[in-house]
Amino acid sequence: MKKGTFGFLSADKQTKIHAVKWEPEKGELKGILQISHGMIEYVERYEGFAEYLTKQGFMVVGNDHLGHGKSVQSEEFWGYFAPKDGSDIVVEDLNHLRKIIQKEHPNTPYFMLGHSMGSFLLRKYLSKYGGGLKGAIIMGTGNQPNAAVITGKCLCRVLALFCGWNHRCKLVEKMALGGNNKRFRAEGTEGAWLTRDKEIVKAYNKEPRCTFKFTLNGYYTLFDTIHYINKPAHINAIPKELPLLLVAGEEDPVGNYGAGVKAVCVAYKRAGIQNITCKLYPADRHEILNELDKETVYKDIYKWMKAKM
């Protein structure tokens, strides 16, 4: 495959967004998949999946979200989005990338995939810009109750009054992420909740772009995004004809071990979105693209996209 990097100005008007494009070496371009990555990671972690799809004739594109990877003015901004409207800005960046790629390939079927935090951002994106997509893959998502996210937003605001929005707070981190590794604590590895593949976990724990701490600003933006996508009016704004694929591991704590993913499916069907496929992978944890059965996941996603074209 051919790999290229490029950049564009974020909607925050001051940060250069780092973007990556993986293309097939030769042959007709069959489709395009844009990836919205998860919290505390970066888009080039998806290169293995991109390599598989390029062999099937797909182009894969994605960017490091604001506050992640190389989309920062300096490393001290890891985990910080923007002084105001951070969630809106990240969604606008996703749309900017889509416009760039679709201008180059206006007639190619276009799909989007969001994982974890990226799935929450994608769900918001679909309520604003979902038209014209061939389909969307919502991966590793969850169904956090409004009471929890409103409490989280209020706590971030109060703490920021005393500590500033750049503060990295252990209390908020524990509230948001503290329970994820609980079921896997006996394995004695931080991050075991991510995948059964111990080599992936080991590499993750050694990578600075995956081990920084979110700021209060970062957590507030995350909670604000979830608060937005929970509102019935925003669910109803998602195009009713848009095909959706919801995928997750049955052992993923973010999706409440499958229950949260099923709840999202039910809510979307009640809103009139009927073209929904929901698949849970037994024994898989949070990062199903990095799991021991990842080749099966790769093939399932490709086959679903192929069928929607």
The answer to whether residue 159 sits within a structural domain is: no
Beta carbons within 8 Å of 20's beta carbon, 6+ residues apart? 3, 4, 5, 43, 44, 61, 62, 63
Confidence band (pLDDT; 50, 70, 90) for 172? very high
Determine the Cα–Cα distance for residues 230 and 15; give it in Å rounded to an integer.
29
Q: How far apart are CA 250 and CA 261, in angstroms?
A: 10
Q: Is residue 259 part of a domain?
A: yes
In a domain, 51, yes or no: yes
Residue 260, amino acid:
G
How far is the first Cα of the chain from the last one, in angstroms, to the nearest whole number?
Answer: 22
Would 202 be classed as within a structural domain?
Answer: no
**27 has a pLDDT exceeding 90:** no
Nearest to 46 by CA among 106, 109, 97, 118: 118
Instruction: Determine contact, residues 261/284, Cβ cutoff 8 Å.
Output: no
Q: Per the structure block, which two tokens stand in for 37?
A: 């990555």
**Mean pLDDT over each residue of the chain, to the nearest integer:** 97
Burial 84-121 (b: 16+ CB within 10 A, else e): eebbbbbbbbbebbbeebeeeeeebbbbbbbbbbbbbb
- Domain count for the chain, please give it: 1
CA–CA dist 210, 194 (Å, integer): 12
pLDDT by residue (tens digit) across 83-140? 999 999 999 999 999 999 999 999 999 999 999 999 999 999 999 999 999 999 999 9
- Provide the 10 A C-beta neighbour count for residue 134: 17
CA 161 to chain centre: 29
Question: What pLDDT score does 259 carry?
Answer: 97
How many other C-beta atoms can be found within 10 angstroms of the C-beta atom of residue 171? 10
**Within 10 A of 69 (CB to CB), how many other CB atoms are there?**
22
Q: What is the mean pLDDT of residues 262-288?
A: 97
Chain segment 187-218, per-residue pLDDT in tens:
989 899 999 999 999 999 999 999 999 999 99
Q: CA of 246: how far to CAs of 55, 102, 305, in Å?
A: 24, 24, 13
Burial of 190 (0-12, 13-18, 19+ CB in 10 A): middle
Counting residues of the chain whose pLDDT is more than 70, the rounded percentage is 100
Instruction: Give the structural domain span for 248.
Output: 2-142+231-308
d(CA 40, CA 55): 28
- Does residue 246 lie in a domain region? yes
**Cα-Cα-Cα-Cα dihedral sign, residues 248, 254, 258, 262:** negative
pLDDT of 178 over the 90 cut = no
Pairing label, strands 135-139, 110-115: parallel
286: CATH: 3.40.50.1820
Whether 220 maps to a domain, the answer reads no
Whole-Å CA distances, 271 to 15, 122, 231, 267, 307: 37, 17, 11, 6, 24
For residue 63, tell me if it sits in a domain: yes
Query: Is residue 192 included in any domain, yes or no?
Result: no
C-alpha angle 87/100/137, rounded to 5°? 55
For residue range 51-82, what is the model confidence (pLDDT) as tens digits?
A: 999 999 999 999 999 999 999 999 999 999 99
